[in-house]
A and B are shown apart, each in its own frame.
Chain A
């Protein structure tokens, strides 16, 4: 007969609880028993563990309990089966619906259409954006006028009028021919009022009105 493998004291101590509950493999039993035969500590420990095992082991009487009440678990299982049945029925209805070849063709066509339109929308290049003098822009701090000139006023006349009144074009003309003009920063409020009055009386100007500083057009 082969000699059992020798094990260390620590290994034996670790395995003792399962020697006490009789679940070790045969070779482990031999090895632990061989160690215990020459180790007082392990023999003492094993005796304690066997006592512990006896205390916790369920008595045969306790295992012969009355039949457990299965009403709750049966109700849960019934509900589970019913729910599964409902899901299966719904799936089967859905499958039947798809089984119709005309419906299937219609759905396939719709899906393809949606995919194509979606794809086109996603891959379409973005709208180009333009910025012109007529595009509304926020105005920096300053003093401004909205002016509509006589359509027959030529470029040199316009330039001369602006120069004379210490004005410069910052925006415009808009679709309706409105220009936004800025007063020279050196002008006093009285000068600006006088220039505005002059412009409203000028035959080359159809409309002139001051606007609040920093406002958007």
Chain B
């Protein structure tokens, strides 16, 4: 049974039985829903904020995800971990939101696209975020789910509803693209700084 540390609401040090919560939610238990909502908020909302780069939209999508959880808790069969099921809903909602917002793969052209470059002197994280923003949504999701959310490749396959080999391939391409992008983005930033000086 999947158990996670709950970081909030006086439950920080208590173990959460997510399957029991889902079972209670399927019986329309509002308190169980509140616990699950708060329990998932830091990690899932953080993931959505990273993917969507807009806090207001991420909050809205988080509510959409949790509303589906409330409605469909009775349909959860327990084949996958609760976290995979919930992140699977979030994965699809995030992709839809990205499509709706018209933010597909950001083009990376070192001559024209200066939006990717942080205005001030960039730290490693800013550079990395700029590189991640230039990945396709599918590739970026795999990187974020792996490193920000800490999922295994098998769990990501469940979340994205695709074969494990597809996950590995997406990660491979994402790494290759980041290797190509990061030195160039770093180079551009240096040039920009020297230009300003």
Contacts and interface: CB of A to CB of B under 8 A. Distances in A.
Nearest to B128: A55
Interface in B92-151: 124-125, 128, 143-144, 146-148, 150-151
Nearest to A54: B147
B77 interface: no
Q: Please tell me the size bucket of the interface on A.
A: 20 to 34
A21 B150 contact: yes
A23 interface: yes
Interface residues of B, number: 38
Contacts of B38: 67-68
Nearest to A66: B8
Given A73-B63, A77-B70, A23 B150 contact: yes
Contacts of A64: 7-8, 42
Interface stretch (B13-21, B27-35, B79-87, B187-195): B27-35
A75 B117 CA distance: 40
B37 A18 contact: no
Interface string A23-57: 11000000000000000000000000100110111
B153 A18 contact: yes
Contacts of B42: 58, 62-65
Given A68-B41, A80-B71, A56 B168 contact: no
Given A21-B147, A67-B8, A55 B67 contact: no
Contacts, number: 89
A73 B45 CA distance: 14
Contact of B146 (A18, A67, A70, A73): A18
B61 to A, nearest CB: 12
A56 B147 contact: yes
Contact of A73 (B37, B46, B148): B37
A55 B43 CA distance: 16
B152 interface: yes
Contacts of B153: 15, 17-18, 23
Contacts of A81: 28
A176 to B, nearest CB: 75
A76 B69 CA distance: 13
Report which residue of A22, A24, A68 has the largest number of chain B beta carbons within 10 angstroms of its beta carbon. A68
Nearest to B178: A52
Contacts of B66: 73
18 contacts: A14-B168, A17-B153, A18-B152, A18-B153, A23-B151, A49-B175, A52-B147, A53-B147, A56-B128, A56-B147, A58-B46, A64-B8, A65-B42, A67-B9, A73-B37, A73-B67, A76-B63, A77-B70
Q: 3 shortest A-B CB distances, which residue pairs?
A: A23-B152, A56-B147, A63-B42
Given A14-B172, A62-B46, A70-B34, 18 more contacts: A17-B147, A17-B171, A20-B147, A22-B150, A23-B150, A23-B152, A55-B124, A55-B125, A57-B150, A62-B42, A64-B7, A64-B42, A65-B42, A67-B9, A72-B63, A73-B63, A73-B66, A77-B67
